[in-house]
Chain A
Amino acid sequence: MARGPSAAPVDRFPASPSRSVFPYVFGAVLLASVVFSLREAQVDPRRFVEGEALANVARFVRGAFPPKLSRDFLGLMARPALETIQISVMGTAIAVLIGLPLGLLATSSLTWRGILHERTSRSGRWTLGFVPYALSRATLSVLRSIPEYVWAFMFVRAVGLGPFPGVLAIGVAYGGMLGKVYSEILETMSPRPLETLHAAGAGKPGVILYGLVPQALPNVVAYTLYRWECAIRASAILGFVGAGGLGQQIELSMRMFQFDEVLTLLAILFALVAGVDWISGRIRARLA
Chain B
Amino acid sequence: MYELRGIRKVFAGGEAALDGVSLAVGRGEHVAFVGPSGAGKTTLFRILNLTLRPTAGTLVLDGRDVAGLSDAELRRARTRIGTIYQRQNLVGRLRVVHNVLAGNLGRWSTATALASLVRPRGAEEAARALEQVGMPEKLWARTDELSGGQQQRVAIARVLVQNPDVILADEPVSSVDPSLAVTIVSLLRDLSHERRKTLLMNLHSVELALAYFPRIVGIRDGRIHFDLAPARVTRELLAELYAGHRDDELQLERLQDGTRPFGGACRPLPGFAE
A25 within 8 A of B: no
Do B140 and A13 touch (CB < 8 A)? no
Do A13 and B124 touch (CB < 8 A)? yes
Kindly state the separation between the CA atoms of A3 and B124 in the bound complex, as whole angstroms. 12
Closest to B197 in A: A1
Do B139 and A14 touch (CB < 8 A)? yes
Interface extent on B, as a size class?
A: 10 to 19
Please judge, given known A-B contacts A1-B163, A16-B140, A17-B140, whether A10 and B195 are in contact too, CB under 8 Å.
no
A8 within 8 A of B: yes
Kindly state the separation between the CA atoms of A14 and B195 in the bound complex, as whole angstroms. 27
The distance from the CB of A29 to the nearest CB of chain B, in whole angstroms, is 21
A45 within 8 A of B: no
Do A13 and B127 touch (CB < 8 A)? yes
B238 within 8 A of A: no
A27 within 8 A of B: no
Interface residues of A in 1-40 (CB under 8 A from B): 1-4, 8, 10, 12-14, 16-17
Mark B104-143 against chain A: 1 for CB-CB distance below 8 A, else 0: 0000000000000000000111011000000011011000
Q: Which of A1, A2, A10, A17 contacts B124 (CB 8 A)?
A: A10
Candidate in B123, B124, B125, B139 with the most chain A CB atoms within 10 angstroms? B124
Closest to B123 in A: A13
The distance from the CB of B118 to the nearest CB of chain A, in whole angstroms, is 12
Do B140 and A14 touch (CB < 8 A)? yes
User: Interface on chain B toward A: helix, strand, loop, or mixed SS?
Assistant: helix
The distance from the CB of B163 to the nearest CB of chain A, in whole angstroms, is 4
Interface residues of B in 136-153 (CB under 8 A from A): 136-137, 139-140
Candidate in A1, A13, A16 with the most chain B CB atoms within 10 angstroms? A13
Closest to B140 in A: A17
Interface residues of A in 194-210 (CB under 8 A from B): none
Closest to A1 in B: B163
Kindly state the separation between the CA atoms of A10 and B124 in the bound complex, as whole angstroms. 8
The distance from the CB of A215 to the nearest CB of chain B, in whole angstroms, is 30
Do B195 and A1 touch (CB < 8 A)? yes
Closest to A8 in B: B124
Kindly state the separation between the CA atoms of A10 and B139 in the bound complex, as whole angstroms. 14
Which residues from A are CB-within-8-Å of B140? 14, 16-17
Mark B231-242 against chain A: 1 for CB-CB distance below 8 A, else 0: 000000000000
The 5 closest A-B CB pairs, nearest first, are: A17-B140, A13-B127, A1-B163, A8-B124, A14-B139
Q: A13-B136, A13-B139 are in contact. List 15 more A-B contacts (CB 8 A).
A: A1-B163, A2-B195, A4-B128, A8-B124, A10-B124, A12-B124, A12-B127, A13-B123, A14-B136, A14-B137, A14-B139, A14-B140, A16-B140, A17-B95, A17-B140
Complex A-B: 16 CB contacts under 8 Å: A1-B163, A1-B195, A2-B195, A8-B128, A10-B124, A12-B124, A13-B124, A13-B127, A13-B136, A13-B139, A14-B127, A14-B136, A14-B137, A14-B139, A17-B95, A17-B140
Chain B residues close to A by CB (< 8 Å): 95, 123-125, 127-128, 136-137, 139-140, 163, 195
